[in-house]
Amino acid sequence: MLCLLPKNLDCSKLELLIKEQTFDYKIFLVLTHKLHKMLSELNLDKTTRTNINKWLKGKYDDETKAIINEWISNKEETKLTDAFYKNLEFGTGGMRGEIGVGPNRMNKYTVGAASQGLANYLKKAFPEGGIKIAIAYDSRNFSPEFARLSADIFSANGITAFLYSELRPTPQLSFTVRELGCQAGVVVTASHNPREYNGYKVYWNDGSQVVAPHDKGIVEEVNAINTISKIKFKGVKKRIKFIGAVLDKKYLKAVKSISVSPRIIKKQADLKIVYSSIHGTGITMVPQALSQLGFTNVHIVKEQATPDGNFPTVIYPNPEEKEAMSMALNLAKKIDADLVIATDPDADRVGMAVKDPAGNWQLLNGNQAASLIIYYLLMAWKKAGKLTGKEFVAKTIVTTDLIDSMAAKYQVKCYNTLTGFKYIAQVIRESEGKETFIGGGEESYGYLIGDKVRDKDAIASCAIIAELTAFAKNQGISLFDYLSDMYIKYGFYYEGLISVTKKGKSGADEIQQMMSDFRKNPPKSLAGSEIIKIDDYKSLIRTLPKENRTENIEGGKLGIENSNVLQFFTKDGTKFTCRPSGTEPKIKFYVGVKAALKSKAEFNTVYESLKTKVENIKSELNL
């Protein structure tokens, strides 16, 4: 009972009464009344109060309740609101949130509800029984604990849980689901989010993140866990199987199989590669993958090689950020490297840097890296005689259209899907036996080569990036020259990303208002070029202003479904997209522009003009 009371209340008398077993219920009522009075005086909405009371009265542990009481007694209204104003949303791919107390946080109760809901859905989806699930986790705080908790709950529900005994990359979990013939998979990770976050991603039996109808079915089952008494926390040891080195070897063999130019690697085996795992899971697989391909001169950033959920050397463990890549870049300068690569905490995303003609290291954005990968793969597949007319690449609607242009040149299909690699995986699944997947990616630093994994794979991406760098060097050119050659052939495409963070309930409301404003008052032009097409994926309606008509957006196997995304296209080829993030408290604006590049000498001039155009559009829209 004491844990229900704020710390600044005088509980000494009650403690004495309890110790002497002369409990005075009247005194207890007085003290608890003070607690409720303090709670009632706080400026909290009805839902927040209801959730707080539910957690204080429910069978939650004493430590959890003590933290809630402390917030009440200290009048921490913002903390209470953000932690209790809603349940942490279990979306169509899982959930992600800050670690802490409350229904809107990652903790053993919200993870427990997710696991129990998933277990309930699996038993309905596979009534014949014999259900297996694979579980992996990254280096984040509480990831091992959440993974074991999930294994316990699945085992308590009669499901065999295959649990990695140590942290492993997310793409390896995708591979494992398929390799072990599991019905589902879970990886505990918050990808590249800040250190205070963790998350829970769900995979289906093909190794991809869940899509319809299973995604919504799982969400319904998770939402039905409205009390922790429905969660079976007590595990059954005999149903928990630990995964060892055998799966590591099979996964690495699959990564090696994507190589297209092994002879060139042999010639350029001493390519100087700098790699950083940024305190994440990549350290378990990337060095081995590069070694087995034949690269012998890999330099690991030692300060960032130890997995650590506090990410002590970076502010934000994201290879998109220059700050996170700074140690790798410094090492590259020191040894005069050929390539810099770094992976995020769960190793599904990779960042890379190239040296420009002036000798300065430049980070490539996700669109540039994805384009380089596809540029190399298309050329290498053709040279190897592997293009038969039944191959395809895939990308998301917010990723550079340069990939479409290159694919068309090689008469290879390019499928465009909604944002989320699960949709690319859906295209791969529905094309099996009819078309062959070469590779694909999205602008947010996630790429996939081959179809043995069905999610972003930074391990395989690091391998193919090293291979294409070796290919360029074998031709006597730098990676920067290789990039320039691509733009000269297909046009200089440049994409800018404006990411606006809006935390908490008020932030979520602001984001929705921004989207509403763009729908009610869409721009008529961008940078002097009129809007000729508007795609609204929420209504799946395409508007053609110049023709004064609308039409439906057809998706087919592309995973095109209702999504809160708006895209604007101009007459000169500019593309502008608005999209609230599904994993972070952000709204993202993507601007894509293009121009001709006649020679390498004009690279900087054209690049700066495109950057200026993006900035002008940003100012125009008050972003």
Name the residues annotated as catalytic.
191
- Nearest-CA neighbor of 440 among 579, 258, 568? 258
Query: Is 275 buried (19+), middle (13-18) or exposed (0-12) by CB count in 10 A?
Result: buried
Return the CA Rg of the chain. Answer: 26
What angle is formed at CA 212 by the lines to CA 209 and CA 214, rounded to 5 degrees?
A: 70
Q: Kindly tell me the number of DSSP H helices and DSSP E strands found in the chain.
A: 20, 23
Residue 452, amino acid: K
* Separation of alpha carbons 231 and 219, rounded Å: 16
Quick one: which of 286, 317, 288 has its CA closest to 459? 286
- Cα–Cα distance measured from residue 347 to residue 151, given in angstroms and rounded to the nearest whole number: 22
β 391-396/436-442 pair status: parallel
Strand partners, 157: none
Cα–Cα distance for residue pair 398/412, rounded to 1 Å: 20
Q: Transcribe 414-472 into DSSP letters.
A: EEEE-SSHHHHHHHHHHHTTT-EEEEEEETTTEEEESSSS-S--HHHHHHHHHHHHHHH
Evaluate whether 366 touches 557 at the Cβ level (below 8 Å): no
* Region for 551 from its dihedrals, namely left if φ exceeds 0, alpha if ψ lies in -120 to 50, beta otherwise: beta
The 8-class DSSP code of residue 87 comes to P
The DSSP symbol for 228 reads G
CA distance 535 to 538: 9
| CA atoms 164, 167, 170, 171: torsion sign | negative
Sign of torsion, CA 472 477 481 485? negative
* Beta-ladder partners of 448: 440
Residue 97, beta-bridge partner list = 198
- Cis (ω within 30 of 0) for the bond into 213? yes
| Six token digits for residue 5 | 């009371």
Helix (H, G, I), strand (E, B) or coil at 505: helix
User: Residue 69: how many CB atoms within 10 A of its CB?
Assistant: 22
Contact between residue 133 and residue 161 where contact means Cβ atoms under 8 Å apart? yes
- State the amino acid at position 420 in one-letter form: G
Please say whether the beta carbons of 476 and 486 come within 8 A: no
The H or E element spanning position 94 is strand 94-98
Comparing C-alpha atoms, which of 436, 428, 482 is closest to residue 207?
Answer: 428
For the record, the structure tokens of 536 come out as 């609204």
353 close to 364: Cβ distance less than 8 angstroms:
yes
Q: Nearest-CA neighbor of 471 among 551, 388, 379?
A: 379
Cα-Cα-Cα-Cα dihedral sign, residues 399, 402, 404, 407: negative
